[in-house]
């Protein structure tokens, strides 16, 4: 649930969501956390009132990264948890991440429709002073203790981190120092105006970090997003690793055995490395709710999305940016080679970023149907768990509907840059052609 505060998301809506969520979970003990956004304290207060007025007991953990809240819910046997956050969105946004007792996210197709129905039905009375009943709880200290038990560095590792002025500032530096890293950090004061840059780690926002790493002999760099569930890893030369490549390196250089989950947009290289290491590759749809479910249902050791969410079995399958940084530090402390050398030793294919074409929501299914029919005729192999991924003679092409926007997304991978361009041109012309045919048909 996300929106711009206060136009789309305000205290009354927060109260209603709290009330509805309490009904959905049957009350019980609910863990509440929030990110550093300026509107988060007010929204957290209102959601707590809604929860309490509907019969729940609320435990407030204050400002915490989202993965710390998830872990807190499961380890302390809460009946559910709510994190007030809009993750990597700009400062004027806010939102809520809602989890059940087992850490499963409430999302569309998994409880969100029922929640929405309850929210619409609630008659808002004058909000009570139920805020007095909130109990405070520390979930950060147990989190640090848990990570220290899971990670063991063989030697000190020099790490530079950009915390994006987000919730991870609260715990990140302490955690990394306690496991044995030498840490230099930037944008490390929690600040809801996000003065460093928007809390979305990408090529643009991580330029300063990249320079810092490459010019000062750091072994590892990491850019953490606003709520801490994602870390973008940089090698010692300041180069950014996509999530699928980060996963490939963890599989290649760690003692991972078992099933490994990756999303449908991942490089073919990932599957190749998983198989070479004697592990079992498992493919998933794109999106956190799908990935978490998949990691858990197949009992995977680890999983990752190209978007840099990395999921760990030892954290109940949750994605955690700080833990991902800790695991890379552990890997490097045991490696003879720098990360840049490991990265360069992996054969790389030419791959595109994710490109989009605007398609009205009501036409998305029809466009995908038309696109699929054509692609099936051209492909050597097809995967259609999320849109359609067509394996062609020198690479692949993926076309899929966006989960959240009126768009069709496409990306490709090929053995050379010319073939890559040909695949992307093919995807674009195919989507536009099918859309135009549908529009002509509608206009008759």
Cα Rg of the chain (Å, integer): 22
| Percentage, residues of the chain above pLDDT 70 | 99
Question: Binning pLDDT at 50, 70 and 90, where does residue 132 land?
Answer: confident
pLDDT in tens, 219-250: 999 999 999 999 999 999 999 999 999 999 99
pLDDT the model gives residue 310? 99
Is position 333 annotated as part of the catalytic site?
A: no
- Closest listed residue to residue 86, CA positions, set 243, 229, 222: 229
- Sign, CA dihedral 146-150-153-158, equals negative
Lowest mean per-residue pLDDT among 211-215, 329-333, 405-409: 405-409
| Strand residue runs (E) in 195-306 | 220-224, 231-234, 259-263, 280-284, 302-304
CA distance 251 to 248: 5
pLDDT the model gives residue 391? 97
Q: Is 99 helix (H, G, I), strand (E, B) or coil?
A: strand
Question: Binning pLDDT at 50, 70 and 90, where does residue 301 land?
Answer: very high
Residue 128 has pLDDT above 80, yes or no: no
pLDDT the model gives residue 150? 99
pLDDT the model gives residue 126? 61
Report, as an integer, the average pLDDT of 128-140: 86
113-124 as b/e: b if 16+ CB within 10 A: eebeebbeebee
Residue 129 has pLDDT above 80, yes or no: no
pLDDT in tens, 176-200: 999 999 999 999 999 999 999 999 9
Write down the catalytic residue from 22, 40, 87, 185. 87
Question: Binning pLDDT at 50, 70 and 90, where does residue 378 land?
Answer: very high
Lowest mean per-residue pLDDT among 108-122, 235-249, 253-267: 108-122
- Residue 418 Cα distances to 62, 355, 414, 426, angstroms: 52, 17, 8, 12
| Percentage, residues of the chain above pLDDT 90 | 94
Is the preceding peptide bond at 6 cis, omega within 30 degrees of 0?
yes
Residue 107 has pLDDT above 70, yes or no: yes
Residue 127 has pLDDT above 90, yes or no: no
pLDDT in tens, 6-32: 999 999 999 999 999 999 999 999 999
Residue 419 has pLDDT above 90, yes or no: yes
Report, as an integer, the average pLDDT of 258-286: 98
- pLDDT mean across residues, the chain: 96
Report, as an integer, the average pLDDT of 64-77: 98
pLDDT the model gives residue 405? 87
Residue 369 has pLDDT above 90, yes or no: yes
CA distance 181 to 267: 31
> What domains lie within the chain, and their CATH numbers?
2-137 (3.40.120.10), 141-345 (3.40.120.10), 350-443 (3.30.310.50)
Q: What angle do the packed helices 243-253 and 321-333 form, to 10 degrees?
A: 40
131-169 as b/e: b if 16+ CB within 10 A: eeebeebebbeebbebbeeebebeeebbbbbbbbbbbbb
pLDDT the model gives residue 124? 73
């Amino acid at each position: 649930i996300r929106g711009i505060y206060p136009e789309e998301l305000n205290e009354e809506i927060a109260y209603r969501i709290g009330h509805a969520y309490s009904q959905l979970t049957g009350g019980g003990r609910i863990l509440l956390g929030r990110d550093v956004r300026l509107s988060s304290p007010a929204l957290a207060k209102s959601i707590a009132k809604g929860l309490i007025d509907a019969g729940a007991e609320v435990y407030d953990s204050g400002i915490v990264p989202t993965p710390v809240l998830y872990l807190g819910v499961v380890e302390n046997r809460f009946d559910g948890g709510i994190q007030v956050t809009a993750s990597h969105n700009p400062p004027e946004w806010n939102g809520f991440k809602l989890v059940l007792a087992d850490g499963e996210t409430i999302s569309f197709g998994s409880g969100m429709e029922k929640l929405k129905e309850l929210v619409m039905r609630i008659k808002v009375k004058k909000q009570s002073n139920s805020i007095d009943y909130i109990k405070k709880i520390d979930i950060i200290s147990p989190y640090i203790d848990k990570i220290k038990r899971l990670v063991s560095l063989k030697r000190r590792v020099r790490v530079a981190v950009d915390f994006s002025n987000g919730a991870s500032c609260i715990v990140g530096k302490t955690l990394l120092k306690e496991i044995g890293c030498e840490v230099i950090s930037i944008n490390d004061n929690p600040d809801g105006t996000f003065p460093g840059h928007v809390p979305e780690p990408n090529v643009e926002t991580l330029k300063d970090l990249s320079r810092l790493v490459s010019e000062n002999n750091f072994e590892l760099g990491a850019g953490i997003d606003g709520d801490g569930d994602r870390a973008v890893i940089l090698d010692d030369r300041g180069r950014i690793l996509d999530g699928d490549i980060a996963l490939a390196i963890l599989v290649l250089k760690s003692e991972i055995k078992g099933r490994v989950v990756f999303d449908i947009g991942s490089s073919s290289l990932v599957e190749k490395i998983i198989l070479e290491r004697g592990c079992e590759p498992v493919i998933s749809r794109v999106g956190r709710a799908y990935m978490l479910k998949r990691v858990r249902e197949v009992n995977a050791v680890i999983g990752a999305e190209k978007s840099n969410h990395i999921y760990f079995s030892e954290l109940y399958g949750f994605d955690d940016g700080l833990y991902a940084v800790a695991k890379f530090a552990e890997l490097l402390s045991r490696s003879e080679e720098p990360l840049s050398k490991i990265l360069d030793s992996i054969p790389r294919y030419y791959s595109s970023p994710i490109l989009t074409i605007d398609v009205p929501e009501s036409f998305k299914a029809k466009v995908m149907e038309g696109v699929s029919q054509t692609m099936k005729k051209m492909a050597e192999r097809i995967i259609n768990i999320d849109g359609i991924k067509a394996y062609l003679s020198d690479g692949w092409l993926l076309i899929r509907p966006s989960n959240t926007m009126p768009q069709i997304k496409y990306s490709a991978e090929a053995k050379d840059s010319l073939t890559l361009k040909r695949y992307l041109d093919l995807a674009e012309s195919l989507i536009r052609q099918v859309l135009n045919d549908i529009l002509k048909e509608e206009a008759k």
